[in-house]
Amino acid sequence: MDLTRHRRDYDNAPLDPAELDDDPLVELRRWVDLAAAAGVTEPNAMTLATVDAHAHPSARVVLLRGLDHGLVFFTNYDSRKGRELATNPHAAAVLCWLDLARQIRVTGTCARLPGDDSDRYWHSRPVGSRLVSAASPQSSVLTDAAELDRRIEQLGRHHPDGEVPRPAHWGGYRLLPDTVEFWLGRPDRRHERLRYRRRGGPGWIVERLAP
């Protein structure tokens, strides 16, 4: 298959470092808001990469659910990513908006959220989502599609009022960044790359990288 003909030129204006916020997470929020305002579907979708004990990487798309001093997402702790983060908390994330020719790369370490934070988000979710998350043995092999249906139906009978408690195997993580790189597509592949890197103490160093 020849994919070389699929080519696009970009026309974004250059990034002005003076206009960037000193805090990369504030700047990240601006870019997410820009994507949302542009009508991007699920502008908070991000690819999360983790590594197992044998240095084998895996990646999947998760939803960014919060931004404070890190990037917050939720998952099943017994899933592949949960097991890998328990062994190696280092992770990388990418938010990419192709229509805007913008991308953000984040590297850092993940830590579990306090239970109260996970509880608050859990109870904000639709009942159906809670039932599936509680019933699903995520990343495990199912005998057939009906197995999950049976699990969900059984759990629903136990909680006819829809008040499904958060299971111990489900909750949130916060990705605490060490680096945050902002990429902007420019004409003739002269792309902009500005990377925030943590100082030894408070604050960030901003560096321009070659495209």
Phi, psi of 186 (to 5 degrees): -130, 160
* 189 catalytically annotated: yes
Q: Which of 95, 89, 170, 165 is nearest to 136 (CA)?
A: 170
Separation between Cα atoms, residue 208 and residue 203, nearest integer Å = 17
Residue written as tokens 């759990």? Answer: 155
Among the listed residues 186, 189, 195, 208, the single catalytic one is 189
Phi, psi of 161 (to 5 degrees): -80, -5
CA separation (Å) from 121 to 15, 80, 166, 196, 210?
35, 21, 10, 29, 40
* Residues taking part in catalysis: 189
